[in-house]
């Protein structure tokens, strides 16, 4: 299985009030944790982002 790609769009713009990136929509905690997350953790972040996109 290939590595789970980062959702980063290389256009960082943090919304400090909501504590998320306006570009990739990850929380600050998800951004910081990303390099240490296992494949399941990364897929969980993607699942949350996909759920946001369908709202």
- Say what the pTM is: 0.88
pLDDT of residue 31: 96
Total length of the chain:
55
Supply the DSSP symbol for 35.
G
10-residue averages of pLDDT along the chain (55 residues): 88 93 96 97 98 89
pLDDT of residue 55: 81
**6, 38, 39 from 14: Cα distances, Å:** 17, 24, 25
């Amino acid at each position: 299985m290939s590595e789970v790609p980062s959702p980063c769009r290389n256009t960082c713009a943090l919304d400090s009030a909501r504590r998320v990136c306006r570009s990739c929509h990850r929380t600050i905690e998800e951004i910081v944790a990303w390099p240490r997350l296992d494949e399941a953790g990364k897929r969980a972040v993607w699942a949350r982002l996909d759920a946001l996109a369908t709202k």
